Amino acid sequence: MFRPAGFGHLLVMNIAVLTSGGDSPGMNAGIRAIVRHGISQGHQIFGFVEGFRGLVDKEKLELDRASVSEIIDRGGTILRTSRYDEFLRPEIQKQAARNLQSAGIDALIVIGGEGSMRGTDALGKNGASVIGVPASIDNDIYGTDFSIGFDSALNTVVAMLSKLRDTASSHERIFVVEVMGRRSGSIALNAGVAGGADYTCLPGTPAIAPEQVKEMTAIVNSRYRRGKTHTLIVVAEGAGSAAEVAAAIHAGTDQEVRISVLGHIQRGGSPSAMDRLLASRLGAHAVDLAAAGKSGLMVGLVGGRLTATELPAAFGQKAALDADLYRLAKEVA
C-alpha cells in the first residue's frame, strides 16, 4: 500500500507503532526514534495505545516530533501497553490486520517481548506489513544480544543487592533475593556476577532441589565460620521463590535469614544509557526495514551490528544463557 510521494521523496509511508506486553525501560526511547527518524525520512507516524488491544479497538493517534519530547529518560511507555490474551484468537488477529488496512497504515512496528513477537508474526501472516523490536527485561529473545530494558533492570538489581548487603552485614544475616525473568535466568545470572552474590539459583534446577539446598547451606555455614558478616543469595523466579529457599536454608543454619522480592521495581526507572542507545538504534532500523518493504522480521543488535531475524526464529527458540558466565559466577562468588 505505497503512495505516490511528494516531490523529492521516493515513497511516503504511514507507519504505526505500539508497545505490547510487560513494559521495560527504554520503550520510550524506541518510540522517540521511530517517530523522529521516520519523520526525517518523510513518513507519517501513528501510534496505537495499550498494545494490540488499541489496534483491535482502533485507538490510533498521530505522533509528531513534539509528541515524543522529553521522554527519552522516562521509564514505561507513553503509548501504554497491555497483555491482551484475546489476541491469541485468529479472528481477532484478522480483525486487527483489517483495522491496519482501513486505517491506511502501510507498516506496523511492535515493541515488545517474546509473546508480542508471536502476535506480530500472526499479524504478518494475515497480510499486514510488520517489524518487531525486542523489548523485555527478561532478555529471553533470540536474535539480539540484549533486549531493550534488560540493562536498566540489571543495574536496578545490582543497586538493590548493594543496599541489601549493607543491612545484611549489619545484622550478620543471610538475604535471599528473588528477581524477575519469567523462565529466563539472564537477570539472575548477570546480577549475581555483577552484584557479587554468594550463590545464584537459575531456572532449570529447582532452587530447593536437595543437592542445591545442601550446597547453599554449606556455603552459608562456611562463610559464617570464616567470619563473613553476610551471605547474599539470588534466586531467579523461574527457579523458585525466595521464601522457599529461605525456609530450606534456615533449617540448616543458626543464622537469621531474610528475603527480598524485587518484583516490579525491576521494570521501572529511567532507562540506562545503553538501553537508550539500543532502543534508538533498533527503532530507527525498524523504520528503515519497513520503508524498504521488508516484513515479518525482528530487528536486533548482535556483536555490535544491526540485524534482522525472521520472526518465527526470534520467538521459536530461547536465548541461551552464557555457560562461561555461569562458570564464572561460581568461581568468583
List, by residue number, the catalytic residues.
138
Could you tell me the three cell numbers for 270? Answer: 529511567
Quick one: which segment of 36-44, 59-67, 132-140, 156-164 binds ligand F6P (CB under 6 A)?
A: 132-140
Q: Given candidates 113, 132, 203, 283, which one binds ligand F6P under the rule CB under 6 A?
A: 113
* Minimum CB distance to ligand F6P smaller for 38 or for 271: 271
Pairing of strands 305-310, 297-302: antiparallel
For position 182 contacting ligand F6P by CB under 6 A, the verdict is yes
* Minimum CB distance to ligand F6P smaller for 165 or for 267: 267
Q: CB of residue 113 vs ligand F6P: minimum separation in angstroms?
A: 5
Cα 190 off chain centre by: 14
Count of residues that interact with ligand F6P, criterion CB under 6 A: 11
Q: Given candidates 97, 180, 188, 213, which one binds ligand F6P under the rule CB under 6 A?
A: 180
For position 22 contacting ligand F6P by CB under 6 A, the verdict is yes
Q: How far apart are CA 43 and CA 32, in angstroms?
A: 14
Quick one: which segment of 126-134, 165-173, 176-184, 300-308 binds ligand F6P (CB under 6 A)?
A: 176-184
Q: How far apart are CA 130 and CA 53, in angstroms?
A: 16
Neighbours of 125 (CB within 10 A): 16
For position 50 contacting ligand F6P by CB under 6 A, the verdict is no
Pairing of strands 297-302, 199-201: unpaired
Question: CA 51 → CA 110, 124, 297, distances in Å?
Answer: 8, 16, 18
For position 137 contacting ligand F6P by CB under 6 A, the verdict is yes
Pairing of strands 130-134, 107-112: parallel
Residues binding ligand F6P (CB under 6 A):
22, 83, 113, 136-138, 180-182, 237, 267
